[in-house]
């Protein structure tokens, strides 16, 4: 061979211009930003995120329990149960509010909650200042066609003395530096 081959492959390409890189980076960033948002729209939520429970003591004898139910999810009215610990304390649960009536092909007429639910629970025989645990069992489904098994959520709270401000859920006991 007299001469080395002269035209193998393509000639070296000019480096892409900075603006092309910037555009590429921006598209990649947009994609990266959009995907989690898409995932949030489409992917089913973990049960505790689909049905967010919070609770606070309104006074020494009343606990307000609140469910915030994500869009596209619902709880069955007759599968919600409240209980309290310690066993010495008792909970008087009022009739739950009317839900949305759903004609289910299998279960007949059932009531469901969408959006949210607030229930005021009366506490009896608990000591003021005592830490109690509210246990809430619930069962719900998502419109995408999945159901969660009955789920028990627990919220620990302290019953306030009369006339004090309502406590926030899971508020840690205040520690004094002087004790």
Partner 1 sequence: MNKSLRGLLVAVVGVAALAAGVYFGLLRTPDMEGQDGATLLALSLPNAAGVEQSLGQWPGKVLVVNFWATWCAPCREEMPEFVRAQSEYGARGLQFVGIAVDQADKVEQFSKEFGLNYPSLIGGYGAVELSKTLGNRLAALPFTIVVDRQGRIAHTQLGPLKPDKLRAIVDKLL
Binding-site ranges for partner 1 (CB under 8 A): 15, 21, 25, 28-29, 31-33, 35-36, 38-39, 42-47, 104-107, 139, 141-142, 144-150
Sheet holding 151-158, edge to edge: 81-85, 131-138, 151-158
Nearer to partner 1, 31 or 165 (CB): 31
Give me the least distance between CB of 29 and partner 1, in Å please. 6
Nearer to partner 1, 30 or 161 (CB): 30
Nearer to partner 1, 20 or 118 (CB): 20
Give me the least distance between CB of 21 and partner 1, in Å please. 7
Alpha carbon of 142 to those of 51, 69, 71, 118, 178: distances in Å?
10, 10, 9, 20, 51
Give me the least distance between CB of 144 and partner 1, in Å please. 6
Nearer to partner 1, 49 or 127 (CB): 49
Give me the least distance between CB of 35 and partner 1, in Å please. 4
Give me the least distance between CB of 79 and partner 1, in Å please. 8
Burial class (CB within 10 angstroms; exposed 0-12, middle 13-18, buried 19+) of 177: exposed
Nearer to partner 1, 140 or 157 (CB): 140
Tokens 């509010």 found at: 97
Burial class (CB within 10 angstroms; exposed 0-12, middle 13-18, buried 19+) of 93: middle
């Amino acid at each position: 061979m007299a001469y080395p081959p002269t035209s193998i492959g393509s000639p070296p390409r000019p480096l892409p211009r900075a603006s092309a890189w910037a555009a590429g980076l921006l598209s990649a960033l947009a994609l990266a930003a959009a995907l989690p948002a898409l995932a949030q729209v489409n992917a089913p939520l973990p049960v505790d995120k689909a049905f967010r429970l919070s609770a606070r003591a309104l006074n020494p004898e009343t606990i307000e329990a609140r469910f915030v139910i994500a869009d596209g999810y619902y709880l069955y009215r007759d599968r919600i149960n409240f209980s309290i610990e310690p066993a010495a304390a008792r909970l008087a649960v009022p009739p739950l509010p009317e839900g949305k009536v759903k004609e289910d092909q299998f279960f007949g007429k059932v009531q469901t909650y969408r959006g949210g639910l607030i229930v005021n629970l009366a506490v009896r025989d608990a000591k003021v200042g005592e830490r109690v645990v509210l246990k809430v069992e619930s069962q719900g489904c998502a419109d995408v066609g999945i159901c969660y098994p009955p789920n028990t959520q627990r919220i620990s709270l302290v019953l306030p003395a009369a006339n004090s401000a309502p406590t926030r859920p899971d508020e840690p006991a205040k520690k004094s530096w002087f004790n």
